[in-house]
Structure 1
Amino acid sequence: MNMKSVTGIGGIFFKAQDPDKMNDWYKAHLGLDTSEYGVRFEWLEKSDPSKTGTTQWSTFSETTDYFQPSSKDFMINHRVEILDQIETYDFGKFVHILDLEGNKIELWEPTDAS
């Protein structure tokens, strides 16, 4: 298998007691243009500046099971080139792994439209 490396951060997700209030706080105090899904930061691809990349910042309910089997309160989504069995959606391909300390890591290969 040809080893590929992470190409960027696709998202930062964390649990909050009240995600809506947390989004409102970040909007009011740090100027983030949040919605119910958080905020999306756009940037240009280093390898091809004609392509736009994104990083998603989102809050989740503290009772979400989306981060399982990790028991941590956060998850980082890494942008990568994926070579193995994956799930495919309109916005990209995903696979999950756990790191040494049990943190869930979401690997994402975006579509060109993402």
Structure 2
Amino acid sequence: MTGHVTGIGGLFFRAADPAALKAWYATHLGIDSSPVWPQAAGPTVFAPFAADTDYWPADRQWMLNLRVTGLDALIASLQASGIAVETRPEEWDHPEVGRFARIVDPEGNNVELWEPPEA
């Protein structure tokens, strides 16, 4: 094969208020995409799920998973801002995979926060 994909170059999705949603992600998750968001190298999971998955709400086609560090501090910051954070340590967290939390953005998009295990 002469060419291959080296990573995800962008995530594009519709929003009722793109400017407000962009500001929300910048404020609460530190994602500054003006004009691009430089990010740390690391693992990316690309995984289509069955149409009837219950891993996220059935009325949504996708769920964004963001790789994070300092999950506990991020959770505290989100909660201090009035953002509901869901955790299920006994169900979602595994030493070999990492720890997880979930939030919903102002437009109802599900966002999973993933702190991979330390290498």
TM-score normalised by the chain length of structure 2: 0.47
TM-score normalised by the chain length of structure 1: 0.49
Asked which structure has the greater RCO (Cα within 8 Å, sep 6+), the reply is 1
Structure ranking higher in strand proportion: 1
